[in-house]
Amino acid sequence: MPQALITGVTGQDGAYLAQFLLARGYRVLGLLRRSASSDVIGERLRWLGIIDQVALLDGDMSDLGSLIRIIDKHGPDEIYNLAAQSFVASSWQQPLLTAQVTGLGALNVLEAVRIAAPRARIYQASSSEMFGKIGTAEQNETTPFYPRSPYAAAKLFAHWMAVNYRESFGLHASSGLLFNHESPLRGIEFVTRKITDGVARIKLGLSRELRLGNLEAKRDWGHARDYVRAMWLMLQQEHPGDYVVATGRSTSVCEFCQIAFAHAGLDHREFVRVDPLLFRPAEVDALRGDATKARQALGWAPEVSLEALAAEMVEADLARHRARLKAD
């Protein structure tokens, strides 16, 4: 039975990846920071019905010793580093925390693997935010980086350290330059989930409006289920590498609103309000990924359309709020 260690296992990607690996016969280990609130630990794993199938291990991304002990004791075949302070807007408010967890935390994982399990295969979660203000119509593996947030800068450090450890120490370390990927498990602070939750609230009469920032920002949105499959495919290759994972379709926040509200039979123009206080200090205007390499080398392609993704998220939020109303 192959073993996989997932940092960030209680997040959106970690939960879907755990589900994916369990279905393929893996023993799944998940790194759990003990300071996490007990009432929310494993919420996403419970949603997927796999909480009892994942072995949760105490550890911390800032504690190299704990990472070395866990990797040395369990000897995972594959390590997926998904842990991060991943909300871009918060990275301006907490730049040092973001650097510590998202940047130096990734380095701690690489160093722990080098010391305790140099034959293990490593996946590093890189981000399309690293491209930032690059100005090209599409971004691929050769596009230069221009990070526009503390989060993006921390991710860029982690990305280059993965490349460095691959080239310096021969580690099988691959990075996925993942473009935005969403799901019903997305945190409420992210714009897509904020929108679908707002749609559900308005549809059920719990709210009258939805306040958003820049409606013109464009992103390449896919489904997290599709993207964790790409992570796994990278570690099945004989040689490590870096891969853009994206749909190739760029959609504005306004257009996502239109799709989500329309699914509930509503007109977004009646409810969406622009709030200047919600604009970022430095915006990334548009991102669209070119995943040609992933398609050709990994045989990967997205399966869930943006419309199906938005519909799934709206339905999940409607179900959540209906359950709360019934409980009250």
Provide the CATH number for the domain around residue 261: 3.90.25.10
Percent of the chain having pLDDT more than 70? 96
Q: Is residue 127 annotated as a catalytic residue, yes or no?
A: yes
Could you tell me the pLDDT band of residue 281, with boundaries at 50, 70 and 90? confident
Task: Give the per-residue pLDDT at 133.
Answer: 85
**Average pLDDT, integer, range 224-250:** 98
Could you tell me the pLDDT band of residue 86, with boundaries at 50, 70 and 90? low
Task: Give the per-residue pLDDT at 270.
Answer: 96
To which H or E segment does residue 81 belong? Answer: strand 78-81
| Enclosing domain of residue 135 | 3-182+222-245
**Do 151 and 28 reside in the same domain of the chain?**
yes
Q: How far apart are CA 279 and CA 286, in angstroms?
A: 15
Task: Give the per-residue pLDDT at 277.
Answer: 87
Residue with tokens 């998220």: 313
Task: Give the per-residue pLDDT at 17.
Answer: 98
Task: Please indicate, yes or no, if residue 238 is contained in any of the structural domains.
Answer: yes
Domain count, the chain: 2
Q: Is residue 151 annotated as a catalytic residue, yes or no?
A: yes
Is-contact 197 190, C-beta < 8 A? Answer: no
On average, the pLDDT of the chain sits at 93
Task: Please indicate, yes or no, if residue 135 is contained in any of the structural domains.
Answer: yes
Confidence check: pLDDT of 70 > 70: yes
Least confident stretch, 18-27, 77-86, 201-210, 236-245: 77-86
Task: Give the per-residue pLDDT at 282.
Answer: 67
**Do 147 and 206 reside in the same domain of the chain?**
no
pLDDT tens column, 155-196: 999 999 999 999 999 999 999 999 999 999 999 989 999 999
Confidence check: pLDDT of 39 > 60: no
**Do 228 and 275 reside in the same domain of the chain?**
no
**Average pLDDT, integer, range 293-310:** 98
pLDDT tens column, 240-253: 999 999 999 999 99
**From the candidates 78, 128, 129, 227, which is the catalytic residue?**
129
**From the candidates 66, 127, 128, 174, which is the catalytic residue?**
127
**From the candidates 16, 26, 123, 151, which is the catalytic residue?**
151
- Assigned token pair, 47: 């949603």
pLDDT tens column, 106-124: 999 999 999 999 999 999 9
**Do 236 and 94 reside in the same domain of the chain?**
yes
Task: Give the per-residue pLDDT at 4.
Answer: 98
**Do 230 and 102 reside in the same domain of the chain?**
yes
Q: Give the CATH number of the domain where residue 132 resides.
A: 3.40.50.720
Task: Give the per-residue pLDDT at 40.
Answer: 62
**175 closest CA partner among 227, 91, 240:** 240
**Do 215 and 98 reside in the same domain of the chain?**
no
CA angle 194, 195, 200 (to 5 degrees): 100
Confidence check: pLDDT of 38 > 60: no
**Do 128 and 9 reside in the same domain of the chain?**
yes
Assessment of whether the complete model's pTM goes beyond 0.75: yes
**48 closest CA partner among 22, 76, 25, 86:** 22
Could you tell me the pLDDT band of residue 41, with boundaries at 50, 70 and 90? confident
- Residues forming a β-bridge with 56: 30
Is-contact 88 278, C-beta < 8 A? Answer: no
Task: Please indicate, yes or no, if residue 206 is contained in any of the structural domains.
Answer: yes
**Average pLDDT, integer, range 65-84:** 96
Q: How many CB atoms lie within 10 A of CB 285?
A: 13
Confidence check: pLDDT of 37 > 60: no
